[in-house]
Amino acid sequence: MGIAGLSMLVGFLMAAVKIIVGLKANSTAVVSDGFESASDVLTSGIVLVGLYIAAKPADDDHPYGHGRFETLAGLAVGTILATSGVLISHRALDRLHDPTHIPAAYALWPVLISVVIKGAVFAYKMRIGRRTGASSLIADAWHDAVDMFSGITAMIALGVALSNPERFSSADHYGGFAVGLIVIFLGIRVIYETASLLVDTMPDPKLIEQIRDVALSVAGAKAIEKCYARKTGLRYHVDLHLEVDPELSVRDSHDIAHKVKQEIRDRLDWVADVLVHVEPFLPGSDAPGVAAAAKR
């Protein structure tokens, strides 16, 4: 929660400074970068709300918890990024043929400061987001990366324009247009990644293998026929088809399944819950995990 709030404050200050200085300095690239920073404030607010709702415990209406609200927040961030990019590019093109356009050199300073600050904020958010698995925070971190790269683009464009204002003043406009394109590209990427979570895309095969290994480490677990996982907010819900000795009683089979569930939840902190379906183990089965279990 703290990092999202800090991002909102930093984004607001940077946006205000760049827009005000960019307008006074007559720099399209810097104003465009300022509007891109302004969208940070809105997206960080969305992330803050998403994380707050996602932290709520499961209830009767949401038995799997409220984690999907965090994913929806990430999707909203991507949509806002893409829309902001279109508006920024459109504004830059509108001013392309302005004959009175001569930017001032002091417009470089707020952009330079913003690049340094956003670089630090991006690294911190990304580290926290990857450690917690918060897709919306990772999406917001990439937004900060865009702000950093768009700032560098604005600086290059403004520098070219200042090198020869009479010949290259339009470079400042093209820089603003390039900033918009960068934002559009990242927005589309964030939308794709968060949408894949909403359609229950399977996680990295290495994570599935970890689940299988932990399950088969429990005494009585013969094999894993199927193993599925879907992300709900910050953690995963797992569906596991566990094979046990068909001669065991229902009670004994249930005890093994319960131990498998507890072992997975205890050893893999990124797993929220496990639904275990017990099936009879058939010797000679080619189900994944049989060979591994046999070696035990």
Note down pLDDT in tens along the chain; length 296 residues: 456 566 677 778 888 888 898 888 888 888 888 887 777 677 777 777 777 777 777 777 877 777 777 778 888 888 888 888 898 888 888 877 665 567 788 888 888 888 888 888 888 878 887 787 676 677 677 777 777 887 888 888 888 888 887 777 778 888 888 888 888 887 888 888 788 877 777 888 899 999 999 999 999 999 999 999 988 777 788 999 999 999 999 999 999 999 999 999 999 988 988 999 999 998 765 555 544 444 44
Q: Note the CATH number of domain 2-198.
A: 1.20.1510.10
> Taking the domains of the chain in order of start, what are their residue ranges?
2-198, 205-295
Q: Are strands 235-244 and 223-232 parallel, antiparallel or unpaired?
A: antiparallel
127-163 burial, b if ≥16 CB within 10 A, otherwise e? ebbeeebbbbbbbbbbbbbbbbbbbbbbbebbbbbbe
Residue 166: strand, helix, or coil:
helix
Overall pTM > 0.85: no
Q: In what order do the strands lie in the sheet with 271-280?
A: 223-232, 235-244, 271-280
* CATH, domain 205-295, list 3.40.50.1010, 3.40.50.300, 3.30.70.1350, 3.40.1160.10: 3.30.70.1350
